[in-house]
Structure 1
Amino acid sequence: MKPYVGWLLGLCLLGAAVLGVGWPQAEPERPLVIWSGRNLPELMALGREFTARTGRAVLVETPGNFVEKFEILAQQGEGQGPDIIIWAHDRFAAWAQAGLLEPIPASALPQGLCLPEAAAPLREANHLQGYPLQLESLVLFWNRTLLPAAPQGDGEFARLARTLPAGVDLVGWDLSSPYHSWPFVTAGVPRGLWVDGQQRLRLDADQPQVLANMQRLTDWLQQGWMPKGLSYELVLDRFSQGKLAMMVGGPWDARRLDKSGIDYGVTGLPALAGQAVHPFYGVIAAGISSNSREKLLAREFIEQWLLTAKGMALYQADVDTGLVACYGQTQALNARRQAILQSVRQGVPMPSHPAMPLFWNSSTAALNNYFSGRLSAQDAWQEAQLRVNQPEHH
């Protein structure tokens, strides 16, 4: 190198250092970002193992207003928001329809090792909207100290109620919650909510069996078996304090009940007037955002780490987890997970349809209007049906 060339190069480097410009630096690798609806320590542990093996960081977040934030960020272009989202399957259809999710080949699931009920709600044509991770459904928690056994149906309620101490109620849940009440509202009903051939969500709750079931629930209230006006929090509090002999809840309630020290059992939901109930079940699924710049890395994490025998066993270790979607057949099921499986097999998947928020809102209004005495059961459900079946007029 000629002396003056070296001198000139040195001068340029010195100038760049003085001005703070320097040479372009490579951007640090962005972590693989996972948004989950609930904080799962086991998922974070799996992320740390993935980082140790691959060198790629994994960031697990549980943001508030999860759904709204994801949908807003998804409209802002590539690289915005999470790479992987973990949420209940009933939102996935709307996200897939809006182009927010990467389609997953059905062959990506471990063949023969997943419950058929887990993949079915996520299937669309020859692909999946997401990877099924776990199934959740409602179960009956019962206080072993207060009851010798859980009832098979409400025909046993009168006898059981007579055995309870003063100040203890027999059964409870938030009646205004359609997720909790729908199994009893539709007991013995072949079809109350479905997606028709034109891909429209249809509600048919104005039918004699539904009206009879609503009256049956009113009878529970009038008999004093179930207190009026219970909220979700009040149900948990009363059951935890031994003031409620039975509560309808889900696996997400287990941690709190365990901390209370209450001696409880878990079983399937009781029949209503001799009719089996059909609870909704949900599939907690992992979807890959179509805006992710790390789609291959996201698939690697899910398929080679999370959705494996080891990953599912670790995921299942959380007390709030329901029933793992895959590899669960090789694991011994405790009473809670056996009850969830029973509920799943006698239940129906929540329709994965963009109009489901309309169903939840309309049904909540119908239940509130009926149990507050503002409307008859028929009028309340007719109003809900109009809102769901003819949304263009509302």
Structure 2
Amino acid sequence: MDRRTVLKQLGAATAFGSLAGCVGVQEQDTETATNDDGGDGSDDGSADQDTETAGPAGEATAWYSLPEPELPGREKAIETFTSETRHTVEGSDISDLEQKTTSAVPAGQGPQVFDWAHDWVGDYYQRGFLTDQSDDLTVDLDVFTDAAADAVQYEGNVVGLPYSAETVTLVYNTDVVDEAPESVSDMVAVMDEYHDPDAGQYGLSYPFDPYFTSAFLQGFGGYYFDPAADPQLGVDRDETIQGLEFALENLTPYMPNDPTYEPQAAAFAEGNAAFAINGPWYLATLNDKGVNYEVTSLPAVDGGELRPYTGISMWYFAKAMESGGADATAGREFVEWYATNEEIHLQNAEEHGAIPVLDSLVGSDDLPANVQAYSETVGQGIPMPTDPKMNKVWGPMETALIDAFNGDATAEEALTTAATDIRENWE
């Protein structure tokens, strides 16, 4: 299980009940999602594409797995595209997208396009689940940030288009904290004063898993996996161990005693924590709960620089597009339209804290302050590796962090064991 699968399953906690996943979101039947692609496409001329000159109308299926608050916006976008072009797109929210894609795509029953973070790119391309659309695209990758453009390519193949970035950064409760802390030391001073578990008050809400804690484990020169480094695996290097020791010493004493996503995220969302470290998807939950908060960049640490993993949300071009035809054209044109639509991205930024990756919007004053803060942290971060070997890193690292958090192993013991397990898995 990879890091985003964990996020999706635990996260759609819009009401703790749901946050970065699909708890409470009804899954649509695979057969319906695949075969019931809607009615005839229509063209009202607004897309400047006449069916006689631009080719026949196509019917494409788009799969995604979104937090519940984001579904109306996605459905509206698909409806708009369908009404303004000759094509029809049928959207389906899938509760376990990894399971669905890995079973349906090889059987020839998958969608034309699907939406997920970029960390599946290498694995899915090598398994034959994706198709290169570089020869047919009308969108130039130069319109996106360099990191986003790189994320959707593998071995020279363009296997999708990006539309937003994600990472985790610091959020603070303005009813408890007067101003954003400049350093972890400043954070500790506030947490030490506020933390009172007996009264249900916590200094920090912070899911202790490999994705979330990457900022600290990679903050002193350490790393998890780098295909260009020697050695490629860095989880048991001294610098990575130092990062985990720092987190265990300075952060975990102020957190709820369950390291998993939901209880950690709930503490801040219920107004019972001074700080949280979480992603932009979390803001919908905080808005729903009525928490007074501000988002800021990650604080400074002595002797290091926090470097969280970053992800690029993208539309993948699935194997179903390999043979071409009108349906493939429909899928590709929908993705091109969605990925370059400034109105959609500004709306997603305003309503859900999404971080646009269009160069025309990056740093724009039109973006909410919270999104600008996340964007700044994205600039500090490291894109998750797309190499398929990374898939074997997440599980052992998750176990290691839980063991270290619970005091069942020291940082060195936990990460040494993780490294051994990862190398065995690679073999």
Give me the TM-score of the superposition, normalised by structure 1: 0.83
Aligned to 2:355: 322
Shift of 1:225: 2.9
Q: Which amino acid aligns with 1:216?
A: F
Aligned to 2:153: 123
Q: Is the 8 A contact 1:109 1:131 kept in 2?
A: no
DSSP-derived class of the 2:407 partner: coil
Specify every segment of 5 or more residues in structure 2 that has no aligned partner in the other structure, as ranges: 1-37, 41-57
Aligned to 2:265: 236
Q: Is the 8 A contact 2:346 2:367 kept in 1?
A: no
Task: Pick the aligned partner of 1:186 from 212, 218, 227.
Answer: 218
Shift of 1:194: 0.8
Q: Show CA shifts across 1:29-48 (max 9, x none).
A: 68421101215322322221
Q: Which amino acid aligns with 1:387?
A: D
Q: Is the 8 A contact 2:355 2:375 kept in 1?
A: no
Shift of 1:165: 7.3
Q: Is the 8 A contact 1:42 1:318 kept in 2?
A: no
* Distance in 2 separating the partners of 1:165 and 1:382: 32
DSSP-derived class of the 2:274 partner: strand
Shift of 1:89: 0.4
Q: Is the 8 A contact 2:222 2:240 kept in 1?
A: no
Greater length-normalized contact order (CA 8 Å, ≥ 6 residues apart): 1
Q: Which amino acid aligns with 1:135?
A: A
Aligned to 2:115: 86
Q: Cα 1:52–1:244, aligned 2, differ >3 Å: closer, same or farther?
A: same
**In the alignment, structure 1 residue 302 sits paired with structure 2 residue 335:** yes
Matches within 5 A, 1:305-384: 305-329=338-362, 330=364, 332-384=366-418
Q: Which amino acid aligns with 1:204?
A: G
Aligned to 2:61: 33
Which structure would you say has the larger Rg? Answer: 1
Q: CA RMSD in A?
A: 2.7
Q: Which amino acid aligns with 2:124?
A: W
* Distance in 2 separating the partners of 1:187 and 1:248: 15
Shift of 1:315: 4.6
Q: Show CA shifts across 1:78-119 (max 9, x none).
A: xx1211101000012111112211213287444543111211
Give me the TM-score of the superposition, normalised by structure 2: 0.77
356-365 or 264-273, larger mean C-alpha shift: 264-273
382-391 or 307-316, larger mean C-alpha shift: 307-316
DSSP-derived class of the 2:277 partner: strand
Aligned to 1:278: 307
Task: Pick the aligned partner of 1:195 from 207, 219, 227.
Answer: 227
Aligned to 2:245: 215
Matches within 5 A, 1:165-184: 166=196, 167=199, 168-175=201-208, 177-184=209-216
Specify every segment of 5 or more residues in structure 1 that has no aligned partner in the other structure, as ranges: 1-26
Q: Show CA shifts across 1:44-67 (max 9, x none).
A: 222212222334332111112111
Q: Cα 1:117–1:313, aligned 2, differ >3 Å: closer, same or farther?
A: same
DSSP-derived class of the 1:355 partner: helix
303-312 or 177-186, larger mean C-alpha shift: 303-312
**In the alignment, structure 1 residue 153 sits paired with structure 2 residue 187:** no
**In the alignment, structure 1 residue 388 sits paired with structure 2 residue 416:** no
Shift of 1:240: 2.2
* Distance in 2 separating the partners of 1:254 and 1:352: 27
Q: Cα 1:316–1:211, aligned 2, differ >3 Å: closer, same or farther?
A: closer
% identical equivalent positions: 22
DSSP-derived class of the 2:311 partner: strand
Q: Is the 8 A contact 1:201 1:353 kept in 2?
A: no
Q: Cα 1:296–1:211, aligned 2, differ >3 Å: closer, same or farther?
A: same
* Distance in 2 separating the partners of 1:286 and 1:100: 13
DSSP-derived class of the 2:285 partner: helix
